[in-house]
């Protein structure tokens, strides 16, 4: 991973080796991330970068009660810097964590990019820059941020495959599907358990509506997912999505129960997978029963964290879908109040520009006020990418807007939205079904 080896202030050789293994485990979405970090601390309890990584991992959890521990970890890193000194790179990593804990996501992305300008082979900085580009809705940097560093990597470097898979997904999000697929497949040739590589090709198949190929791709690689962390649920979400678009609704519901829903998980990505899939199943006419209630029970305590606008929107939708009107209203009020109280935070700007209106529309949609929902979501539609997430994930909001327009009898708008989608996804079954519905009524 390192060339030349990065300097880690005062850390032993074993601690550095274990730390770099932890970074590889993180890049590979492996479930032994915690064990690797523990081994790093066992080798050196005062390693600055280990404390930084620990703080990042607390942040990734997005659990309100745990988030303050990220600041504790940052404090420990700062103390290590006082005792041992710190390199410029280590100080920038501390600044990146600091920015994230303060909700400054755009600043965090900029800090990690500045590390990469000096150290293009810093895999941790690359992953984090990519992560923040993703949740700031910066598709272009998802691709270009990786393209910039790629010439500095060589095939034999540990972590090289992860760089290819990052590049593959960045290309996919910019609709460069052929090149995305080539890079994703190359990453899988290096490591068939590379979750991001599997994922990138699954996205290509999704966007090109190559459902059978997508299902085969995911099914063929699934035996390699045993050592993956919760991200494997997102891979199952992709597979379920492909079955759904192939019209295999009952199979999707079974897959939801067996492979997506995890009663023990409080992971925000797992919950957004679940919420998104239940809503899509309902659009397909499937009765989902008490599943919304189980999700709402989980969402309620987690929704106190103002983490990503993308997550907020899903949580509002889930509470409203469960019929918990008071809780859904209270959450939207809390989201807006936080935006007003902390205007410097990235999420606040996104709430003010788009997510407040989107959430308002989602509430109206679930309450059957379709014209009102259309009025709320329609004007911000072009800005929804600012919430972060992928095209495939955000497609849910497009689908909701189309449904609202159709149900509100706004046929002109519905036609326009469906034609937009048809232009980019001509073989999409969801779209074709709505176009037929529209033709039958209009």
- For residues 58 and 397, which CB has a smaller minimum distance to Fe ion in the complex? 397
Dist. CA 156–CA 434, nearest whole Å: 49
Q: Which residue is nearest to Fe ion (CB)?
A: 390
Contact 299, 315 (CB under 8 A): yes
Q: How far is the CB of 404 from Fe ion (least distance, A)?
A: 24
Q: How far is the CB of 14 from Fe ion (least distance, A)?
A: 36
Dist. CA 340–CA 6, nearest whole Å: 42
Dist. CA 141–CA 150, nearest whole Å: 14
- For residues 115 and 255, which CB has a smaller minimum distance to Fe ion in the complex? 255
- For residues 208 and 390, which CB has a smaller minimum distance to Fe ion in the complex? 390
∠ CA 319-320-325 to the nearest 5 degrees? Answer: 95
- For residues 20 and 399, which CB has a smaller minimum distance to Fe ion in the complex? 399
Q: How far is the CB of 199 from Fe ion (least distance, A)?
A: 5
- For residues 172 and 312, which CB has a smaller minimum distance to Fe ion in the complex? 172
Q: How far is the CB of 441 from Fe ion (least distance, A)?
A: 33
Dist. CA 358–CA 344, nearest whole Å: 21
Q: How far is the CB of 196 from Fe ion (least distance, A)?
A: 9
Q: How far is the CB of 339 from Fe ion (least distance, A)?
A: 27
- For residues 21 and 390, which CB has a smaller minimum distance to Fe ion in the complex? 390
What DSSP string describes 162-191? HHHHHHHHHHHHTT-HHHHHHHHHHHHHH-
Residue 4 — left, alpha, or beta (φ > 0 → left; ψ -120 to 50 → alpha)?
beta
* Preceding peptide of 4 cis, ω within 30°: yes
Q: How far is the CB of 245 from Fe ion (least distance, A)?
A: 14
- For residues 43 and 180, which CB has a smaller minimum distance to Fe ion in the complex? 180
Cβ count within 10 A of residue 117 = 11
Contact 161, 190 (CB under 8 A): yes
Contact 394, 317 (CB under 8 A): no
- For residues 169 and 307, which CB has a smaller minimum distance to Fe ion in the complex? 169
Q: How far is the CB of 440 from Fe ion (least distance, A)?
A: 33
- Classify residue 372 by burial, with Cβ atoms within 10 Å: 0-12, 13-18, 19+: middle
- For residues 1 and 218, which CB has a smaller minimum distance to Fe ion in the complex? 218
* Cα dihedral 29→31→37→39 (10° resolution): -140
Binding residues (CB under 5 A) for Fe ion: these are 390
Q: How far is the CB of 166 from Fe ion (least distance, A)?
A: 13
Distances, alpha carbon 121 to alpha carbons 112, 140, 313, in Å: 12, 20, 35
Q: Give just the sign of the alpha carbon dihedral 206, 210, 213, 219.
A: positive
């Amino acid at each position: 991973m390192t060339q030349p080896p990065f300097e880690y202030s005062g850390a032993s050789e074993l601690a550095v080796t274990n730390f770099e293994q932890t970074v590889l485990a993180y890049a590979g979405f492996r479930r032994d991330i915690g064990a690797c970090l523990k081994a790093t601390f066992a080798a050196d309890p005062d390693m600055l970068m280990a404390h930084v990584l620990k703080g990042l991992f607390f942040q990734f959890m997005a659990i309100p009660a745990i988030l303050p521990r990220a600041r504790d970890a940052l404090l420990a890193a700062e103390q290590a810097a006082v005792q041992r000194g710190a390199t410029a790179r280590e100080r920038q990593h501390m600044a990146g964590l600091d920015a994230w804990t303060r909700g400054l996501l755009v600043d965090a992305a900029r800090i990690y990019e500045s590390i990469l300008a000096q150290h293009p082979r810093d895999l941790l900085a690359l992953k984090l820059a990519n992560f923040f580009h993703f949740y700031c809705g910066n598709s272009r940097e998802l691709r270009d941020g990786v393209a910039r560093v790629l010439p500095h990597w060589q095939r034999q470097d540990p972590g090289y495959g992860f760089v290819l898979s990052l590049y593959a997904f960045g290309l996919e999000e910019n609709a460069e599907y052929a090149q995305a697929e080539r890079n994703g497949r190359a990453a899988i040739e290096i490591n068939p358990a590379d979750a991001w590589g599997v994922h990138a090709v699954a996205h290509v198949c999704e966007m090109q509506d190559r459902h059978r190929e997508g299902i085969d791709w995911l099914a063929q690689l699934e035996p390699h997912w045993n050592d993956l962390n919760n991200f494997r649920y997102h891979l199952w979400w992709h597979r379920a999505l492909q079955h759904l678009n192939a019209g295999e609704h009952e199979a999707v519901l079974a897959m939801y129960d067996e492979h997506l829903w995890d009663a023990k998980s409080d992971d925000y990505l797992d919950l957004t997978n679940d919420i998104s899939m239940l809503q899509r199943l309902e659009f397909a006419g499937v009765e989902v029963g008490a599943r919304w209630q189980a999700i709402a029970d989980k969402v309620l305590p987690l929704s106190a964290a103002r983490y990503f606008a993308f997550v907020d929107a899903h949580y509002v939708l889930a509470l409203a879908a469960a019929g918990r009107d008071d809780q859904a209203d209270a959450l939207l009020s809390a989201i807006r109040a936080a935006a007003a109280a902390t205007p410097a935070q990235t999420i606040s700007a996104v709430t003010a520009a788009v997510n407040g209106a989107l959430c308002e529309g989602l509430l109206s949609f679930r309450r059957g006020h379709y014209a009102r929902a259309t009025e709320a979501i329609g004007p911000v539609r072009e800005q929804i990418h600012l919430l972060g997430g992928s095209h495939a994930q955000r497609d849910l909001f497009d689908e909701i807007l189309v449904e609202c327009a159709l149900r509100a009898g706004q046929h002109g708008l519905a036609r326009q939205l469906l034609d937009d989608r048809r232009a980019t996804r001509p073989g999409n079954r969801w779209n074709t079904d709505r176009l037929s519905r529209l033709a039958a009524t209009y």
